[in-house]
Amino acid sequence: MIPAKAQPPLPRDKLILSEPPGDERIEMDVLFVGGGPAGLAGAIELSGLVKAANEAGDGPGQISIGVLEKAGSLGEHCLSGAVVNPRPFRTLFPDLDDSDFPFQQPVTREAVYFLTPKRAIRVPTPPPMRNEGNYVASICEIVRWLGERAQAMGVDVFPGFPASALLVNGNRVIGVRTAPSGLDRDGNPMSNHMPAADVVAKVTALAEGTRGMLSQAFFEWQQIPSANPQIYALAVKELWETKRPVDAVIHTLGWPLPGGAFGGSFFYPLEDRVAAVGLVVGLDHPYRSLDVHVLLQRMKTHPLFAQYLQGGEMTEWGAKTIPEGGFYAVPQRRHGDGVVVLGDSAGFVDVPSLKGIHYAMESGIAAARAIFTALTANDTSAHMLAAYDRSIDASYVMKDLYRRRNMRLAFKDGLVMGGIKAGLMTITGGRFPGGKISMVSDAAVARSSDGAVPFTPDGTLTFSKVDAVFKSGNATRDTIPSHLITGGDVPGELAAYYASVCPAGVYEVVDGKLRVNPPNCVDCKATDVVGPRWTPREGGSGPAYKRM
Amino acid sequence: MGAVLVVLEQRDGMLKRVSLEALAAGRVVADAEGSEVHALLMGPPGVSTEALGRHGADKVLAAATPDLALYQPDAFATIAANQVSTGNYDIIVLGATAMGRDLAPRIAAKLGAPLAPDVTSLTANDELVVTRPVYSGKAVFTLRVVKRPCVISVRPNVFSPTDAAKPGAVEGISADGVVAARATTVKVKEPEKAVLDVAEASIVVSGGRGLKGPENFHLIEELAEVLGGAPGASRAVVDAGWRPHSEQVGQTGKTVSPSLYVAVGISGAIQHLAGMRTSKVIVAINKDKDAPIFKLADYGIVGDLFEIVPRLIAELQKIRGN
């Protein structure tokens, strides 16, 4: 079974609209689509540049900067490990000290274990994974903090308004259309209906996060290639009040992942008795029934985890994909006329060090500088915005990604060979083995073996998907129209595959047929990678993460 | 085929936007019938007519004299009716503003022509069909206008100015003798205790669809009065005809930044939020706890406005009474 064969195409005609904006349009100078670390860092840097230039007397005058966010409140759709590299925070807030930033605690101790079903074997920490000088943090808290800073600087942040389509004129992006709200299951307006609104801007910065729909549509529309297709991993994460303190940043490899899957776990202490535990698995595995949520549940029964979690309480649950393709999967151009693409949407994630937040912010800062220059020159064409790509290409972002360009890709041959190759790559600074390891898209990987392991959750240490979705804070109304596009008649085997890919129970097999429960969706985008397409829906739908 | 005569409106020597909207409506008829649009400007000398050609006027007829600076009901109606009688005109279009509502029936009466007032849509294929909302927008009349000439007034902010480049050459017409008519406007006096303009008030109380109907807007007016503020409205209720456009807050209405903004029964379309986000203190009253307005509000009351607002008014009156 090859998932790509049954995958519906990207609904480009709905995502790219070549029509003039409506009369009720909102006009901005710069619009950031997505209120995550990339979009907010960009908005903050840009407003700072404008203010400084205006005070110096050679600024562009009043510049309106907006941020659209699909979550009901800032941060509610953000999920990350997270151990954060503070570098872009220092760039963005030179007057602040590390202790002012919204981090939980510095990383003091760290350990990497290889797990067998019963044992945990300590292994040396691979150099790219070393976290000295980094901080454990919650991306939700970071984003809320950045949002307050942005608003204090005059940025207009609009949570609850997803962008559902790019508005274009010829090759120029002129803004976005928001998703309407208050529609019933059949798409008819209800009493609280709010129609779509057009927001036009001189520059639209796409900072949608992982697997951004408008970003995907932009790259496809402009036929912008990358050397390798982007590949993704799915992360499922829980927040726990632990029975006893977790005193180190812990990563594990091995059990319970089957041999053909690439991934690992993270276990991060946020407070004395609050810890994050999660499992990340590449979607390029050959299994029809691999279920990351179930694997995480099994993993928690391992003594390494159970000693902390047993008797504690799971307080939050969530899931999200991660673009893992690295250097060779970054699109060759991340700008166009009136548009730039930032952060995860552009694929700025380094898998060997398990980080992307600082790259997202760095890309926002670089984009803001290019946009500022373009606004000052009164020319926001691709010619001017190309400065953004040049700046990122010359920065540590692309240098890091280049050095580790083949590291994640080496693991398609399994953990042992991958580990040996990755070690050599580290020693040689990426020169071994040289060249490029080619990849296919996740959806093109044949699912040749079953890989199912029966598991029954106990409701205290391990949980069903229904309980999990409840803990994501997802309170999407039941009557929402479906935002998921399945490929017509889905055969039973494929339906079962979708059900195992989706961590939130959106897909079920009932009487051998696919049943879709759209309100369960937590916007992780996993099935958008290998199966049914995700599209933007009513603002405020989906999870409501607090400290993920 | 007779031409279309669009009667323009100016104030203090500046064309009002509704003039361009009326031109757009006139253009629809003229294009369908293959005729021309003539714009009739009555006002003081020096009104800029530069935009008219760009927005669809084939010709501009200007009766420019200081005596016409203010709206003169008799004179305006006479000039317009004379123009229709001496020229070859089938349709006369005006904006349904305060002036248009007064002037349109006068012109119609002088010509013995039918009048379709306050029109919100217009089609001119084979025959002229217009619609107008009635009963505060709860029902819509569809009118087929058969007789020529006929007078139509169009509701402001419904038609968008059209980009149709036409010659727009200006031709002066005489207003001699008509100004000294039976009655003239001498002066326009602002009301002394005017209801505060929503764009200038330091306190704004806005109502939205949650009020259920125009008959409940007295709650907004009373709350605004007891707070010493101005009433405002969301676009949804202005579109529905519950409130005048002058009260609309939002990107397409008026952008406000008062020291206190009270949003009652407004869920918060992004245009509305964009139009009031800079208010210093924002209070929202809404029964839907997930309404976007609460994300912007400093204080939020989740509940039934029909219970909350009367109690608020009563309490505020008590405080003021002391």
Return the closest-CA partner of residue A366 out of A322, A334, A330, A326: A334
- Could you say which DSSP state residue A449 is in? B
Phi/psi for B132 (5° steps) reads: -145, 135
Q: Tell me how far apart the alpha carbons of residues A79 and A505 are, in angstroms, rounded to a whole number.
A: 18
Measured between CB atoms, which of B267, B271, B273 is closest to A192? B267
Helix H or strand E encompassing B316: helix B305-321
pLDDT of res. B244: 86
- Could you say which DSSP state residue B146 is in? -
Phi/psi for B107 (5° steps) reads: -65, -45
| Residue showing tokens 């992006």 | A173
> What pairs with residue A31 in β-bridges?
A66, A204
B267–chain A Cβ distance below 8 A for any pair: yes
Q: Residue A407 — very low, low, confident or very high, per pLDDT cuts 50/70/90?
A: confident
Return the closest-CA partner of residue A484 out of A422, A531, A430, A417: A531
**Among all residues of chain A, which has the CA nearest to that of B270?**
A197
pLDDT of res. B251: 64
> What pairs with residue A328 in β-bridges?
none
Burial class (CB in 10 A: 0-12, 13-18, 19+), A372: buried
Tokens read off for A195: 């129609």
Contact B249, B206 (CB under 8 A): yes
Q: Distance (Å) from the C-alpha of residue B292 to the closest C-alpha of chain A?
A: 6
Contact A44, A92 (CB under 8 A): yes
Q: What is the pLDDT along chain B (322 residues), one digit of tens a residue?
A: 789 999 999 988 888 888 999 999 999 999 998 999 999 999 999 888 888 999 999 999 999 999 899 999 999 999 999 999 998 999 999 999 889 999 999 999 999 999 999 999 999 988 899 999 887 667 889 999 999 999 999 988 788 899 889 998 999 998 887 776 678 888 887 655 555 677 778 899 999 999 999 999 999 999 999 998 999 999 888 888 898 888 888 766 677 888 999 999 999 888 888 888 888 899 999 999 888 899 889 999 999 999 999 999 999 988 877 6
Give start and end residues of each alpha helix (H) in A232-283.
Answer: none
Q: Tell me how far apart the alpha carbons of residues A506 and A514 are, in angstroms, rounded to a whole number.
A: 10
Q: Give the mean pLDDT of A101-125.
A: 94
Q: Tell me how far apart the alpha carbons of residues A383 and A520 are, in angstroms, rounded to a whole number.
A: 43
Burial class (CB in 10 A: 0-12, 13-18, 19+), A423: middle
Question: pLDDT digits over A53-74, tens only?
Answer: 999 998 899 999 999 999 999 9
Tokens read off for B239: 């579109």
Q: Give the mean pLDDT of A190-217.
A: 94
Phi/psi for B268 (5° steps) reads: 105, 65
Burial class (CB in 10 A: 0-12, 13-18, 19+), A125: middle
Cβ neighbours of B277 in A, within 8 Å: 156
- Given an 8 Å threshold on Cβ–Cβ distance, is B271 in contact with A24? yes
Q: CB neighbours of A208 closer than 8 A, spacing ≥ 6?
A: A33, A34, A163, A214, A215, A344, A345
3-state secondary structure of A497: helix
For chain A, which residues lie within 8 Å of any Cβ of chain B, measuring from their own Cβ? 23-27, 72-73, 156, 158-161, 178, 191-192, 194-195, 197, 199, 539-540
- Given an 8 Å threshold on Cβ–Cβ distance, is A194 in contact with B267? yes
Return the closest-CA partner of residue B315 out of B227, B204, B231: B227
Amino acid type, B135:
Y
B288–chain A Cβ distance below 8 A for any pair: yes
Strand residue runs (E) in A403-450: none
Residue among B286, B290, B296 with most chain A CBs within 10 A, to mutate:
B290
Torsion of CA A499, A500, A504, A507, to 10 degrees: 0
Q: Give the mean pLDDT of A167-178.
A: 96
pLDDT of res. A454: 84
**Among all residues of chain B, which has the CA nearest to that of A152?**
B278
Contact B95, B154 (CB under 8 A): yes
- Could you say which DSSP state residue A511 is in? T
Burial class (CB in 10 A: 0-12, 13-18, 19+), B127: exposed
Burial class (CB in 10 A: 0-12, 13-18, 19+), A467: middle
3-state secondary structure of A166: strand
pLDDT of res. A288: 94
Quickly list DSSP for B3-22: EEEEEP-EETTEE-HHHHHH
Residue among A161, A177, A537 with most chain B CBs within 10 A, to mutate:
A161
Give start and end residues of each alpha helix (H) in A187-331.
Answer: 213-221, 292-300, 303-309
Amino acid type, A295:
L
- Angle (CA) A326-A328-A329 rounded to 5° is 65
Q: Indicate the pairing of strand A533-534 with strand B59-64.
A: unpaired
Amino acid type, A5:
K
